[in-house]
Chains A and B, each alone.
Chain A
Amino acid sequence: MQSNNRSAPARQKARHPAGVDSAPVRLKLLFVIIARGKAEFFSDLLQSFSVNLQMSVGAQGTANTDMLRLLGLSDSDKAVLVAVIREDRAAEALSLLDEKFRTIKGGKGIAYTVPMDSVIGVAIYRFLADLDA
């Protein structure tokens, strides 16, 4: 019984911003691969989708750029943004990212979401899901 009482907060249902009891909002990992110079722009963009945690990692593209590099034309420097996003905001975020990839000069990239199974800690979950305290 004691262990049940201890784990009760962990099983407490998350509350939607509207205050309605419902199943916890699922989370996804959102990967965005873009030119390094655009990392800040896309990072700011993601923040408008209830994203409270994101990491930016420097990376390199693997294109065959030997000749281009000789000519000083290569730009294989990339950034990978890894963000935790609510499942119900993911489609909307991907849609806007797709639009920006197609319309911004030098802003082409790839974005995809990967499902997340588990998070430990209610406070961490609420932070990641951007739920009201």
Chain B
Amino acid sequence: MPSAHQVIFCIVNAGFSDAVMDAAKKYGARGGTVIRARGTAGGDSERRYKITVSPEKEIVMILVNVRITDDILHAIYREVGLETDGQGIAFAVPVDQVVGLHQSHKSEQQPDPDGKEEEKT
């Protein structure tokens, strides 16, 4: 049975994770997790696509209800997509089973690991 949730991975230039979350929150996401990373594109790719690739990246993971996945992906594309300074790439991955979500917000939110109303993972 397909799960009601998907996890959105968004890879952006360092410093743009807040912009990703701002875009996602407009459509119902409540929290995400940011991992620092390093991009490896460069050289040929930069010349071919006429872009500059900053190696410092952030990966934002956002667990969302499948109903709002497309809206969030579109919002991310508009606000931090490849045409913007954020140079973001986003994709959604299906999730089988989820635990740890608040019952009251299970449809659209991530939990509050610290027990604070606005705190997210």
Q: Are A109 and B113 in contact (CB under 8 A)?
A: yes
Interface string of A55-88 (1 = CB under 8 A from B): 0011111111100100000011010100000000
Whether B33 lies near A114 (C-beta < 8 A) is no
Q: Give the total number of A-B pairs whose CB atoms are below 8 A apart.
A: 110
CB 8 Å contact bits of B95-117 with A (1 = contact, 0 = none):
11111110000000011111110
Number of interface residues of B (CB under 8 A): 34
Question: Given the complex, which residues of A lie within 8 Å of B95, measured CB to CB?
Answer: 112-114
Q: Which of B10-64 touch A at CB < 8 Å?
A: 17-18, 21, 31-36, 60-61, 63
Q: Are B5 and A61 in contact, CB atoms less than 8 angstroms apart?
A: no
Candidates A28, A62, A63; contact of B116 at CB < 8 Å: A63
Q: Which residues of B contact A115 (CB under 8 A)?
A: 94, 96
Binding site of A, secondary structure by majority: helix, strand, loop or mixed?
strand
On chain A, which size bracket covers the interface? Answer: 35 or more
A91 to B113 alpha-carbon distance, docked (Å): 21
User: Do A60 and B33 have beta carbons less than 8 Å apart?
Assistant: yes
A75/B100 contact (C-beta < 8 A), A33-B33, A59-B34, A112-B63 known? no
What are 14 contact pairs spanning A and B, CB under 8 A?
Answer: A60-B33, A60-B34, A61-B120, A61-B121, A75-B114, A98-B99, A101-B100, A108-B111, A108-B112, A109-B100, A110-B63, A110-B101, A112-B7, A115-B96
